[in-house]
Amino acid sequence: MKLLNITTKYFLVSFLILLLLWAIAFFFIIKSKIENDVDEFLTSRKVQILQAIADNPKLLQEDSPVQPDYRIEKISPVQAKNISEHYRKIFLTDPVEHEPEPYQQLVTTFSTKTGYFKLTLQTSLVESRELIQIILFTVIALFLVLLLFVVFMNRKLLQKLWRPFYATLDQVGKYRLELPQKIQFPVTKISEFRELNETIDRLIKNNLQAFENQKRFTENASHEIQTPLAIVRNKAELLMQNPDLTAEQAELVQAMTENLSRLSRLNKSLLLLAKIQNNQFPETEEIDVQTILKKLFDDLNELMAFKNITFKMAAAGKAVVNMNPDLAEMLFGNLVRNAIRHNSENGKIEVTIKEGEVSIENTGLPFDGDTERLFQRFSKNSSHQDSYGLGLSIVKSICDFYRFSISYIVEKNIHKISIRF
């Protein structure tokens, strides 16, 4: 869930609860205030009426005109004793609309020289109820508008405030240590984000430094190893020339030479990997995949003949890639040698070329491991002791460098490597 949505969610929920509580409280406060006002009004009206009666007792006569808001009834002293002054809410049918309407009544008693009377005063609550409703609606409307505004502002503000953060995130997500690119952090006034950018920048610089060191180390180490290796190899070659070598000694020299060759191959491969990663193959030219593959397979036809491998090449389109010719030779050479090397006796190799895609299929031993691992350094199929597994690692490095996508599929005894350019 996005930060923006989470903040909005929390904001919305807490705001709604607050609004609800506020509205309820407000409603009851206003309601009781208005009811108080009504009661006060009735009380003051009562005082007015009693005053009027005291001034003019004729008002109590039976034929006095009927007043709309009060009624006076003569009652017995016993009744008067039983009635205490009280307010009550009643519903009376409206003569025009024939609907019950709320009224507040004040019932009280008073006595004059002529006897005991019951006074019932009433006032319509319709207006105050409407007032309460209007107030309530206004409050709710106000709060809703406020809520919308706040949520909207919150989103806008968050979006604006967090923009540098998302920009940084985007940059870091796209960053690849092995590619020659620099991160351009957005300029921001927010100190936390600035700190974040600085921290990431430092982290990347440290990583880059470590990466550079590692690359340089590999390259330097390989270079340093090269000369003594060359010397030992040449000495072994000279030793080989000795006519007095016994069969036993010859075997020793042979084992030495073979392993020196392995060592020097390994060294060369490591150096090459370092060079690919150090971007030391800048020149590119257009390479026709079919031409280069044909040449490579042709060059090794004695090997295929030796294993009795059937070779087929089908081109449905032209695959032309723009890349360094030496790396192209390395990439396709490794694939070709791999297809021959891991093939079985009387096996098959099938090359399919389509526009922007090439796949090489060869028969071989079933492989049930993780094919992804085949691309990693020093991962090897145990049936081939000589292999240091750098061939496919080089292939992968070159593909990564040019952003080709490569896949390796093994189905039963068919191995298929496809590259899309």
Partner 1 sequence: MKLLVIEDEPDMLNSITSYLAKSGYVCEIAATYAEADERMWLYEYDCILLDISLPDGNGLDLLREIKERKNPAGVIIVSAKNSLDDKIAGLNLGADDYLPKPFHLSELQARVNAIIRRKNFAGKNEIVLENLVIDLDSKTVQVGEHFLTFTRKEYEMLLFFVSNKNRVVSKTSLAEHIWGDHIDQVDSYDFLYSQIKNLRKKLKELGSAFNIQSVYGLGYKFSTL
Half-sphere exposure of 83 (CA within 13 A, CB side): 22
Q: State which residue, 290 or 334, has the beta carbon closest to partner 1.
A: 334
Residue found by looking up tokens 């007032």 in the block: 131
Q: State which residue, 183 or 245, has the beta carbon closest to partner 1.
A: 245
Residues 89 and 74: their CA atoms lie apart, in Å, by 23
Q: State which residue, 208 or 256, has the beta carbon closest to partner 1.
A: 256
The SS3 call for residue 208 is helix
Q: State which residue, 14 or 220, has the beta carbon closest to partner 1.
A: 220
Q: State which residue, 168 or 338, has the beta carbon closest to partner 1.
A: 338
In the bound complex, what is the minimum distance in angstroms from residue 227's beta carbon to partner 1?
5
In the bound complex, what is the minimum distance in angstroms from residue 249's beta carbon to partner 1?
9
In the bound complex, what is the minimum distance in angstroms from residue 198's beta carbon to partner 1?
38
In the bound complex, what is the minimum distance in angstroms from residue 306's beta carbon to partner 1?
4
In the bound complex, what is the minimum distance in angstroms from residue 409's beta carbon to partner 1?
22
Query: What is the chain's Cα-based Rg?
Result: 49
Residues 207 and 254: their CA atoms lie apart, in Å, by 44
With a CB cutoff of 8 Å and minimum separation 6, the contacts of 400 are 178
- Cβ atoms of 358 and 319 within 8 Å: the answer is yes
Q: State which residue, 74 or 384, has the beta carbon closest to partner 1.
A: 384
In the bound complex, what is the minimum distance in angstroms from residue 205's beta carbon to partner 1?
28
How many CB atoms sit inside 10 A of residue 107's CB?
17
Q: Which of 55, 63, 46 is nearest to 120 (CA)?
A: 46
What are the distances in angstroms from CA 49 to CA 42, 46, 72, 387?
10, 5, 10, 117
In the bound complex, what is the minimum distance in angstroms from residue 216's beta carbon to partner 1?
14
Question: What are the tokens at 376?
Answer: 């990693």
Q: Summarize as ranges the residues that interact with partner 1 (CB under 8 A).
A: 223, 226-227, 229-231, 233-235, 237-238, 240-241, 245, 247, 250-251, 253-254, 257-258, 261-262, 264-265, 268, 271, 280-281, 299-300, 302-303, 305-307, 326, 333-334, 337-338, 340-341, 384, 386-387, 391
Q: State which residue, 81 or 235, has the beta carbon closest to partner 1.
A: 235
What are the distances in angstroms from CA 17 to CA 98, 134, 154, 323, 398?
40, 21, 18, 64, 60
